[in-house]
Amino acid sequence: MTDRLTLLRPDDWHIHLRDGAALSQTVADVARTFGRAIVMPNLVPPVRNAAEASAYRQRILDARPAGSRFEPLMVLYLTDSTTPEDIHAAKSSGLVYAAKLYPAGATTNSASGVTSIDKVYPVLETMSELGVPLLIHGEVTRPEIDVFDREKVFIDEHMSRVVTRFPDLKIVFEHITTHDAVQFVEAAGTNVGATITAHHLLYNRNHMLVGGIRPHFYCLPILKRNVHQEALLDAATSANPKFFLGTDSAPHAQHAKEAACGCAGCYTAYAAIELYAEAFEQRNALDKLEAFASHHGADFYGLPRNDDHITLVRKEWTAPTTLPFGEHSLTPLRAGETLRWHVLEENA
């Protein structure tokens, strides 16, 4: 049994850091182990252009713990009014690494999202030309579609069409949750990849709904049946370079999740690589973790891999029951429970 695992420093290809006073916690947590992170732009108002991305990046840099080399990789939020010029300016800023498509109303802070994908075709054309990846929250929002089917219907109605129409555009199907998404990504060209969260590898909808409703497991896309969880575990541990780490760590104040209408999002950044290690260990696949966490994402984005290492040790510890979140507090995923891996503090 492996008790110690040294990995090239990993990156997180999908995280929500929020803004303002929340940054001191969220940035410290991600910077503890990750070299870089793709920072989601769903602030209110969203990050719509190079100037807003640059200002947000500076607030993140200012929140880094002393001595941290953590690098935030910024993302534009596509709206119906994003122009090809916005993409050109973002690309030449050198700070923006992707643009994100949220179908309007699909998830937290997506009210300014795209109302119809056809409206942004000129923008996608420019992204394809400039090599700017398109990140997609792949769920339809039509009220008659069952919430558990939203990802599958999005593939059939939109994803297939976009991939065919833009054969050279790099596309990341974000936080995939279904067997259908795994199959779609596997069958697509090398320009199509996907992020997979730790919580979708560790849990299925029974964990959220059996024996009482657990709001801290509620995220979007929602946890699915265990057959889908198994398909995600197969994909993540397959060594296929199309699949890479993206935590989708998405903090909300405790009172906003433990409510009659609770917010979607799981906070995993405080123990992200440790949670992935648990998932990979369940499959006896710890030897596949480094490629998933530290190689595939950088390779997909065309960025150099990190050049230093972290070491995980098998060590039981108790997750905090609560963490500071600006003027509020948040309840992390696995609060108060035992975690089985820990990252050594001094990393060589």
Ligand X SMILES: NC(=O)N[C@@H](CC(=O)O)C(=O)O
Could you please report the per-residue DSSP string of 140-208? ---TTS-GGGHHHHHIIIIIHHHHHH-TTS-EEETT--SHHHHHHHHHS-TTEEEEE-HHHHH--HHHH
- Angle 147-148-153 from CA coordinates, rounded to 5°: 85
Instruction: Select 114 or 343, whichever has its Cβ closest to ligand X.
Output: 114
Instruction: Select 5 or 229, whichever has its Cβ closest to Zn ion.
Output: 229
Site for ligand X in 276-295 (CB under 6 A): none
**CB 217, CB 229: distance < 8 Å:** no
Shortest gap between Cβ of 139 and ligand X (angstroms)? 8
Selected from 9, 57, 137, 252, the binder of Zn ion by CB under 5 A is 137
Instruction: Select 182 or 312, whichever has its Cβ closest to Zn ion.
Output: 182
Number of residues that bind Zn ion (CB under 5 A): 3
SS3 content of the chain, % helix, strand, coil (to 5): 40, 20, 40
Shortest gap between Cβ of 113 and ligand X (angstroms)? 10
List beta partners, residue 114: 103
Q: What whole-number distance in Å separates Cα of residue 220 and Cα of residue 150?
A: 10
108 counts as binding ligand X under rule CB under 6 A: yes
Among the listed ranges 59-67, 87-95, 101-109, 238-246, the one in contact with ligand X (CB under 6 A) is: 101-109
Site for ligand X in 210-249 (CB under 6 A): 219-220, 248
Site for Zn ion in 251-290 (CB under 5 A): none
Shortest gap between Cβ of 164 and Zn ion (angstroms)? 23
Q: Which two tokens stand for residue 151?
A: 């990802």
Query: Is residue 340 annotated as involved in ligand binding?
Result: no
Instruction: Select 4 or 142, whichever has its Cβ closest to Zn ion.
Output: 142
What is the crossing angle of helices 272-282 and 23-33, to 10°? 50
248 counts as binding Zn ion under rule CB under 5 A: yes
List beta partners, residue 317: 339
135 counts as binding ligand X under rule CB under 6 A: no
Shortest gap between Cβ of 69 and ligand X (angstroms)? 26
**CB 179, CB 148: distance < 8 Å:** no
Q: What whole-number distance in Å separates Cα of residue 282 and Cα of residue 201?
A: 10
16 counts as binding ligand X under rule CB under 6 A: yes
Number of residues that bind ligand X (CB under 6 A): 12
Query: Is residue 8 annotated as involved in ligand binding?
Result: no
Q: Is 29 a catalytic residue?
A: no
Q: Which of 108, 87, 33 is nearest to 65 (CA)?
A: 33
Q: What whole-number distance in Å separates Cα of residue 112 and Cα of residue 6?
A: 42
Q: Are strands 338-343 and 309-318 parallel, antiparallel or unpaired?
A: antiparallel
Per the listing, tokens 């059939």 go with 156
**CB 253, CB 322: distance < 8 Å:** no
Candidates 12, 29, 180, 248; catalytic one = 248
Instruction: Select 240 or 247, whichever has its Cβ closest to ligand X.
Output: 247
Query: Is residue 328 annotated as involved in ligand binding?
Result: no
176 counts as binding ligand X under rule CB under 6 A: no
Shortest gap between Cβ of 174 and Zn ion (angstroms)? 6
Site for Zn ion in 103-122 (CB under 5 A): 107
Query: Is residue 17 annotated as involved in ligand binding?
Result: yes
Q: What whole-number distance in Å separates Cα of residue 206 and Cα of residue 190?
A: 34
Q: What whole-number distance in Å separates Cα of residue 79 and Cα of residue 115?
A: 8
Query: Is residue 309 annotated as involved in ligand binding?
Result: no
Selected from 25, 26, 33, 42, the binder of ligand X by CB under 6 A is 42
Query: Is residue 152 annotated as involved in ligand binding?
Result: no
Residues that bind ligand X (CB under 6 A): 16, 42, 107-109, 137, 219-220, 248, 250, 264-265
Catalytic residues: 248
Residues that bind Zn ion (CB under 5 A): 107, 137, 248
Give the annotated binding-site residues for substrate. 16-18, 42, 137, 220, 252, 264
Give the annotated binding-site residues for Zn(2+). 14, 16, 100, 137, 175, 248
